């Protein structure tokens, strides 16, 4: 797996994402219009139960 070097900004466009962020002990729910950030060189997990779309932007270091 290729892990992006840049940090990411992820915005939920429709639906919802259940996210386990790096180092976080609990899953968090993000709904339409909400965003979350992931540091570069890290991984995160998603759970999706309905049709969902999201935008992932790679940010400058």
Give the model confidence (pLDDT) of 4-47 as tens digits: 689 999 999 999 999 999 999 999 999 999 999 999 999 999 99
The CA-atom distances, in angstroms, between 48 and each of 5, 35, 51, 60, 61 are 25, 15, 8, 28, 29
Q: Which residues pair with 35 in a beta bridge?
A: 11
Instruction: Enter the tokens of residue 25.
Output: 């002990």
Whose CA is closest to 60, among 7, 15, 2, 20?
7
Residues 44-56 have a mean pLDDT of 95
pTM of the model: 0.87
Higher-pLDDT residue of 4, 58: 58
pLDDT band at 60 (very low <50, low <70, confident <90, very high): confident
Whose CA is closest to 1, among 61, 56, 42?
42
Sequence ranges of the domains in the chain: 8-50
């Amino acid at each position: 797996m290729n892990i992006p070097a840049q940090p990411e900004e992820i915005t939920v466009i429709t639906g919802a994402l259940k996210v386990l962020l790096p180092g976080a002990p609990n899953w968090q729910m993000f709904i339409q219009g909400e965003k979350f950030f992931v540091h570069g060189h890290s991984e995160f997990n998603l759970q999706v139960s309905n049709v969902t779309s999201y935008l992932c932007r790679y940010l400058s270091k």
